[in-house]
Chain A
Amino acid sequence: SQTIHQWPATLVQPVGSPLSLECTVEGTSNPNLYWYRQAAGRGLQLLFYSIGIDQISSEVPQNLSASRPQDRQFILSSKKLLLSDSGFYLCAWSPTNGHNNEQFFGPGTRLTVL
């Protein structure tokens, strides 16, 4: 069966510090991968999605970046965090079978920038 992991679970970082959040998927190959942010009162916002290694699409302009160095690894990064980067970050995957898309979410990372 497929599982999706995210770490760390919780992170407190000062403004201006770098960020690296990791997401890995097991039990499937060539998944579509997604990074979402859930900020208070704003619902889930798609940040990046990837259909393959080194193929990343950005949905919103921001100081975050994403990379996919391996098929089942998706990394969210920042060189310098802003206060507004605080939120709950969710990674998700979906199969690339061309049919209707159900996305499966990881446990999330709670990021607080102080």
Chain B
Amino acid sequence: EDKVVQSPLSLVVHEGDTVTLNCSYEVTNFRSLLWYKQEKKAPTFLFMLTSSGIEKKSGRLSSILDKKELFSILNITATQTGDSAIYLCAVEVAGAGSYQLTFGKGTKLSVIP
């Protein structure tokens, strides 16, 4: 059974702090790992990672994948209250005729002023 585990489940930090969110996985037929940010409703896409060791960066957010150790981290530097959200990690696996995502339970990040 495919498994995606995120840690921590919940995190409270002060504005300006740097946070690291973790995602480990055990899946068959790995294709890619994706990070989403979910604020109130639907998740919005952050990053897609397919190769080990190549950092993806967008503003204060960055992410990297380690396919040997089967994990990814999402870093947020100089956090702001607008970063408060649930961050979801998902692993894409190749299925018969389609691609499926298996999601972790998410990390709830709260940034306090």
- Tell me the complex Cα distance, A104–B102, Å: 15
Chain B residues contacting A32 (CB-CB under 8 Å) are: 98-99
Closest Cβ of chain B to A41, distance in Å, is 7
- Cβ of A90 < 8 Å from any Cβ of B? yes
**Cβ of B106: which chain A residues have Cβ within 8 Å of it?**
43
In the bound complex, CA of A57 to CA of B95 (Å): 11
Query: What is the number of residues of chain B that contact chain A, defined by CB distance less than 8 Å?
Result: 25
Q: Mark B69-106, 1 if CB is under 8 A from A, else 0.
A: 00000000000000000001010100111111111111
Report whether B104 and A102 are in contact in the complex, using a CB–CB cutoff of 8 Å.
no
Contact in complex: A107, B41 (CB < 8 Å): yes
Query: Chain B residues in contact with chain A, CB under 8 A?
Result: 31-32, 34, 41-45, 48, 50, 88, 90, 92, 95-106
CA distance A41 to B98 in the complex (A): 27
Contacting B at CB under 8 A, from A41-62, are 41-46, 49, 51, 57, 59
The reply to whether B48 and A43 contact each other, CB–CB distance below 8 Å, is: no
Q: Residues of A contacting B96 with CB < 8 Å?
A: 57
Contacts of B97 in A (CB 8 A): 51
Indicate if A101 sits at the interface (CB-CB under 8 A).
Answer: yes
* With A105-B43, A108-B41: A100-B48 Cβ-Cβ less than 8 Å: yes
* Shortest Cβ distance from residue B6 to the other chain A in the assembled complex, whole angstroms: 8
In Å, the complex CA distance between A51 and B97 comes to 7
- CB <8 Å contact, A45 and B92: no
| Beta-carbon contact of A44 and B88 below 8 Å | yes
A100 touches B101 (CB 8 A): no
Alpha-carbon separation in the docked complex, A34 to B44 (Å): 16
For residue B49, which residue of chain A has the nearest CB?
Answer: A100
Is A94 among interface residues, defined by CB-CB distance under 8 A?
yes
Write the nearest CB–CB distance from B23 to chain A, whole angstroms.
11
- B-contact bits for A21-51, CB 8 A (1 contact / 0 none): 0000000000010101000011111100101
- Expressed in whole angstroms, the Cα–Cα distance for A109 and B90 within the complex equals 21
From residue B44, how far is it (CB to closest CB) to chain A in Å?
8
A49 interface neighbour in B32, B34, B43, B98, Cβ under 8 Å:
B98
Contact status B42-A100, CB under 8 Å: no
